[in-house]
Amino acid sequence: MNTNLRKIAEICNTSSDFRGKIIYGESLADHTTFKVGGNARVFAQPDDEKSCMFVLSLLRENRVPFFILGGGSNIVVADEGLEGCILCTKALNALRLQDDVLYCGAGTSFDKVTDFCIAYGLSGLENFAGLPGTVGGAVYMNARCYEKSISDVLLFADYAVPEDDQVRRYTMNETDWDYKKSPFMARCAEQKPCLILSAAFKVEKGEASLIEQRCRNFINDRKEKGHFRYPCAGSVFKNNRAFGKPSGKIIDEALLRGTRRGNAQVAPWHGNFIVNTGDASADSIKELVQYVQSEVKKRTGFSLECEIIFIDNSLLGFYTIP
């Protein structure tokens, strides 16, 4: 194990500035919706923002690569695992309502968010009912559900960067966002990673029973479409309006439903899902994604854009603090 990585783990285990869990050799398959991937050398799950910032400062000072993990709903972790530090935000799950603004910790699941909205009669986030993953991940990816994007309801997000120990606030600017793209993704593409700590959404008072019914309708639709039949990451490929039809339809017409690589399979009921039918490997999922892209390109000329992120040690390099 990297000497500096071990040093960070030992400091966290003994310092009063850190509250949370430090685990050696944690299975990352247990932290992703695809249920694949090897182990993390060090898995850090801070209980609060102060502890998050403490870990982030240690990573910077000791030049240790890291990856920020939320609900693990849109990623595939390499079979060999990850050598750096996995910084998990799932314990940052506090919710607070002030006027018509809902403040959510980055690690809050959308099940918890929508349950809170139902309990307090808050409308505006129903489309995200049943969305796997966390608030931080949804903001980072600009999640889109049933024609509504996170950017449609986001007011601001608090985040930190490895360069310093300051918490910064991003205030919503529509020009920074696009279909399933956010300014936070743009930062990481420039090798400037950021840790989303919390987000604030605009909500409005409504009838709790109607809000609950709308949430239930969206969840039922997900169930009918087979979102929860097997471990998966939801939609694999982004839709592109220039293609004239959804990616799933294009894949269906290419007769690729049911195609397998090992225990990874294009869902027989939905072309834009790849599912883990039992002990699939990250390599088999990646191979299947590439095969679908190749076949669709060959048959239609369309280049499908994958929205799943494949995480391996080469990507951790992007998160190495200079």
Q: What is the pLDDT of residues 97-148, one digit of tens each?
A: 999 999 999 999 999 999 999 999 999 999 999 999 899 999 999 999 999 9
| Structural domains of the chain in order of their starting residue, each with its CATH number | 3-91+311-319 (3.30.43.10), 95-222 (3.30.465.10), 237-306 (3.90.78.10)
Q: What is the pLDDT of residues 1-26, one digit of tens each?
A: 678 899 999 999 999 999 999 999 99
Residue tagged active-site, from 51, 198, 235, 284: 235
d(CA 6, CA 70): 23
Catalytic status, residue 123: no
Percentage of the chain lying above the pLDDT 90 cut: 83
Could you tell me the end-to-end alpha-carbon distance of the chain, in angstroms, rounded to an integer?
20
- pTM: predicted TM-score of the whole model, two decimal places: 0.91
Q: What is the pLDDT of residues 166-182, one digit of tens each?
A: 899 999 999 999 988 99
Q: Which of 23, 27, 24 is nearest to 37 (CA)?
A: 27
d(CA 181, CA 179): 5
d(CA 32, CA 5): 23
Average pLDDT over residues 262-270: 97
Identify the H or E element spanning 312.
Answer: none
Catalytic status, residue 303: no
Point out which residues pair with 82 in neighbouring strands: 40
Residue tagged active-site, from 49, 126, 212, 307: 307
SS3 at position 320: coil
